[in-house]
Homo-oligomer: A and B are copies of this chain.
Amino acid sequence: MLILKENIKSIIETTDDELDFFLGKCSNKKFKKKEFLSSANSIPNEVFFIEKGLVRVLLNNSKGAEITSFFAGENQFISNYSAFLSKKPNPYAIQALEKTEVIVLSREAIEWGYNNMKEGNKLGRLIAEYYFIQFEYRILDQYLLTPKERYENIEKVFPNINQRVPQRMIASYLGISPVHLSRIKKEI
């Protein structure tokens, strides 16, 4: 849990005591490739911090087609955060794309942090703001960039993603067909 600890220390003022108590409420968990960290249409009660591995967020659209909407890798938080926050189920699921090791931050641990850590709410605010910005820029890219430019950007956002993920998932994430993606790759 060292990296998560350093990560939190870089964001807020905290003490080792406070952090150790918080992390004592968190647990480690391993997932096999293809296993689900979080299933669709349920209310998740945790946020994951990825220590090792890679996951994707997916859902089935109105036509029953599977969409890959997001990837997350080492040292990133991932959660069906809107379902976690609103306590309302939604169709998003989270699946491991490699053997994945995570720290599980349970709702209880997170709420303990808000109520007891001196800057717990500040941490929560900065994390929510960070993901809000990520979201906004992803939408902005769809308005402003061509599929080719977005493909070229994907490596910056998710290093080595091309070597780690099937092309059909990358195409789905970019909102284009696999045929369109292979045409773009030939062009480059």
Q: Which A residues have a C-beta under 8 Å from some C-beta of B?
A: 59, 61-62, 67, 69, 81-82, 85-86, 90-92, 114, 119, 121-122, 124-125, 128-129, 131-133, 135-137, 139-140, 143-146
Contacts and interface: CB of A to CB of B under 8 A. Distances in A.
Nearest to A59: B143
A145 B135 CA distance: 20
Nearest to A85: B129
A145 B124 CA distance: 31
Contacts of A124: 121, 125, 129
Contacts of A140: 59, 90-92
A62 B132 contact: no
Nearest to A81: B132
Contacts of A125: 114, 121-122, 124-125, 128
Contact of A114 (B91, B114, B122, B137): B122
Q: Which of A59, A85, A146 has the most CB of B within 10 A?
A: A85
A55 B114 CA distance: 34
Nearest to A65: B143
A104 to B, nearest CB: 20
Contact of A133 (B59, B82, B133, B137): B82
Contacts of A144: 61-62, 91
A82 B135 CA distance: 9
